[in-house]
Structure 1
């Protein structure tokens, strides 16, 4: 049961990270900011996602 919960949590994080990367790529931010945010989200999957959600590029 523990493995299933861990796998489910990992899958949710992966899907959320993919969503964040797509949103970052489509944002109106500069290319440099996009690269930095994508690197943060990929290198720090959970923390990067939280940081992007709280402080990342916002839609106008």
Structure 2
């Protein structure tokens, strides 16, 4: 059971890092990049979901 928790934690960390890299590769203001990065880091699961919805092609929110 402990191995699954570790695997999930590492997987979540990798996906969060990929999301942050995607945010920093976008052509948006630096302030927005910092805010999105902090949201993803401080709220790993919820922040990732929020970012995925906002960054999706159908997303109404501008990153």
Name the TM-score class by shorter chain. 0.7 to 0.9
**Quick one: higher RCO (CA 8 Å, sep 6+), 1 or 2?**
1
Partner Cα distance (2:54, 2:17) in 1: 18
User: 1:56 Cα deviation (Å)?
Assistant: 3.7
RMSD: 1.5
Aligned CA distance change for structure 1 residues 33 and 56 (closer, same or farther; 3 Å): farther
In structure 1, runs of 5+ residues without a counterpart are none
In structure 2, runs of 5+ residues without a counterpart are 58-63
Note if 1:28 corresponds to 2:27: yes
Partner Cα distance (2:44, 2:25) in 1: 19
Number of residue equivalences: 57
2:60 maps to which residue? none
Question: Which TM-score applies when normalising by structure 1?
Answer: 0.86
Question: Which TM-score applies when normalising by structure 2?
Answer: 0.82
